[in-house]
Amino acid sequence: MTRAPSHASRGDAAMPAPLLTEPPAELDDLSVFPASTARLPHGDLSVGGVALAGLAGRFGTPVYVLDEDEVRSRCRTYRAAFPDARVLYAAKAFLSRAMARWIDEEGLGLDVCSVGELELAHAAGFPPERMVLHGNAKTPHDIETALRLGVGRIVVDSPSEIARIAALTGPGGRQKVMVRVVPGVSAGGHEKIRTGTDGQKFGLSLTDGSAQHAIARVLGQPQLELTGLHCHIGSQITDAKPYAVAVRRLVGLMARIKDNHGVTFPELDLGGGHGVAHRPGDPALDLTALARRLGAELATSCAAAGLPVPRTVIEPGRAIVAPAGVALYRVLAVKHTGPNLFVAVDGGMSDNPRPALYGARYAPRLIGRSTTAGPVAATVVGRHCEAGDVLANDVLLPGDIRSGDLLAVPVAGAYQVSMASSYNLVGRPPVVAVHDGTARLLIRRETQEDLRRRDVGA
């Protein structure tokens, strides 16, 4: 069910606000939009050959638009930058049956962290042997399903999982596993997405000996084949140096394992967390530089330790799908509160909780009409009953922004659909794929009837 677009109302048009002397480049900068983005007459944009204003009219707002070619291009970029590595797409960033098919066709593996992601990918025909199951608190159902479907690897995240996986595998079975190690590396764009340091819920510490103890226990389980070590140090990392530090520490651990147990590992999984630019001018991780730095560090560290160089595994999610997505919103109200200009839209923290959770910054852009108005500073807020429901704080928009206008928010492909909720009983938006001038619905809008059907207690 789509929503009819609202229309401009003179009553809540923006009051005059101080204009900047020169329109800054940000108002017309398309550098963080998908590569296929093109300018159209009357201030509109197209992505994948499809006009965004037309998509808003056809599917209603809010709506997520996903450029298939951008996703595929970024998969190929990873394969070119890391030709000898196994590249796994991190499904938690965004997963649908179509996305699983694109990833499969581009030759990537898949990193899943729940039975839901696993079953959806399997239903889409994704080969289970190219999947890896993650999670700091895997349920027995998660593990049973992974074993039944033949998942390629299970990443051990806690000591209790070792016996559980072995028992569920059974005496005649054999399951490949990795052990997630916390290497003591602090990296990431916000403290809530830094996962390489002690004192958080993921993995087994290198510094207190729990990683070494878990590895010894895994090696003692005949049902389990330990193929290597795994780490994930954080998200939105824009510098290769923390990954190099993690390599050195993990190779040091591998050397101790060889000395103590006579075992060498064929794989080393360095996770993902590769940072992308959400706004023009933001830093992003240089994949070519990362690949070069990791290769050199791994070769040097392994040579010094007398170890064979393991095959690298990486797990990008956001870096593949975030820049391929654009979220479209309709402006519902514009008002001044003291010195602040608030632009309220028909979505909010239910379809993008990232600004509220860890201060993510976005750059909304007016589309669908032309304007010669100079820019004003505004805060784009959502419709939910929370003061923290802010989508974009202190951004520049045209001074004549008004109700009925459309805003396009780029870099919306990751951790928006997958983290969306139905807060205030507002249904989750649809996802529309664009490709070669056509648009098709991937995930339909969640309707009020969907929400009512879940409530069975009357």
Does the annotation flag 316 for ligand binding?
A: yes
Instruction: Kindly state whether residue 1 falls inside one of the protein's structural domains.
Output: no
Cβ(127)–Cβ(152) below 8 Å: no
2, part of any domain = no
Contact 74, 324 (CB under 8 A): yes
CATH number at residue 18: 2.40.37.10
Please report whether residue 3 resides in a domain. no
Domain range holding 277? 68-322
Q: Which residues are catalytic?
A: 385
In terms of domains, do 33 and 97 share one? Answer: no
Please name which of 52, 101, 96, 49 lies closest in space to residue 75, comparing C-alpha atoms. Answer: 101
Residue 139: count other Cβ atoms within 10 Å of its Cβ. 12
**Does a structural domain hold residue 5?**
no
Sequence-ordered list of residues with C-beta below 8 angstroms from that of 339, at least 6 positions apart, any chain: none
| The last residue of a domain, from among 307, 322, 337 | 322
Cα separation, 50 vs 36, in Å, equals: 10
Q: How far apart are the C-alpha atoms of 441 and 433, rounded to whole Å?
A: 6
Please check whether residue 317 lies inside any domain of the structure: yes
Residue 206: its pLDDT value, please? 87
Question: Distance between CA 318 and CA 193 in Å, rounded?
Answer: 13
- pLDDT value of position 275: 94
Number of domains in the chain: 2
Residue 90 sits in a domain of what CATH number?
Answer: 3.20.20.10
Together in a domain, 301 and 217: yes
The DSSP code for 237 is B
Establish whether 234 is an annotated binding residue: no
Angle between the N-to-C axes of helices 159-169 and 210-219, in degrees from 0 to 180, rounded to the nearest 10: 10
Pair (117, 197) in one structural domain: yes
pLDDT of the chain, 458 residues: tens digit per residue: 333 333 333 334 333 433 433 344 557 899 999 999 999 999 999 999 999 999 999 999 999 999 999 999 999 999 999 999 999 999 999 999 999 999 999 999 999 999 999 999 999 999 999 999 999 999 999 999 999 999 999 999 999 999 999 999 998 899 999 999 998 776 555 454 444 455 677 789 888 889 999 999 999 999 999 999 999 988 889 999 999 999 999 999 999 999 999 999 999 999 999 999 999 999 999 999 999 999 999 999 999 999 999 999 999 999 999 999 999 999 999 999 988 999 999 999 999 999 999 889 999 999 999 999 999 999 999 999 999 999 999 999 999 999 999 999 999 999 999 999 999 999 999 999 999 999 999 999 999 999 999 999 87
Q: Encode burial over 395-409: b for 16+ CB neighbours within 10 A, e otherwise.
A: bbbbbbbbbebbbbb
| Same domain, residue pair 168 and 302 | yes
Does 386 count as an annotated binding residue? yes
**Integer angstrom CA distances of residue 66 from 79, 112, 198, 366, 379:** 21, 21, 36, 18, 25
273 annotated to a ligand binding site: yes
Q: Are residues 116 and 225 in the same domain?
A: yes
| Nearest partner of 397 among 347, 334, 351, judged by Cα | 334
Q: How far apart are CA 131 and CA 127, in angstroms?
A: 7
The pairs formed by 286-295 with CB atoms below 8 angstroms and a separation of 24 or more are 286/240, 287/77, 287/78, 287/81, 287/82, 287/319, 288/81, 289/240, 290/81, 290/240, 290/243, 291/81, 291/82, 293/240, 293/241, 293/243, 293/244, 294/240, 294/243, 294/244, 294/247, 294/270
Domain boundary among 298, 322, 346: 322
Give the total residue count for the chain: 458
- Beta carbons within 8 Å of 188's beta carbon, 6+ residues apart: 194, 195, 196, 233, 234, 235, 236, 237, 273
CA 409 – CA 354 distance, rounded (Å): 13
Q: What does the alpha-carbon distance between residue 37 and residue 39 come to, in Å, rounded to a whole number?
A: 7
Query: Is 423 one of the annotated binding-site residues?
Result: no
Assess whether 273 and 344 both reside in one domain.
no
Residue 4 in domain: no
**Residue 84 region by backbone torsions, left for phi larger than 0, else alpha for psi between -120 and 50, else beta:** alpha
As a whole number of angstroms, the distance between CA 76 and CA 104 comes to 12
Residues 200, 245 share a domain: yes
Q: Is residue 29 located within the same domain as residue 72?
A: no
Structure token pair of residue 157: 């995240």
**Is residue 140 a known part of a binding site?**
no
Q: Please give the Cα distance from 275 to 282 (Å, whole number).
A: 10
- Statement to judge: residues 212 and 96 lie in one domain: yes
> Are residues 352 and 298 part of one domain?
no
* Structure tokens given for 380: 């784009």
The DSSP 8-state label assigned to residue 404 in this structure reads T
> Same domain for 73 and 220?
yes
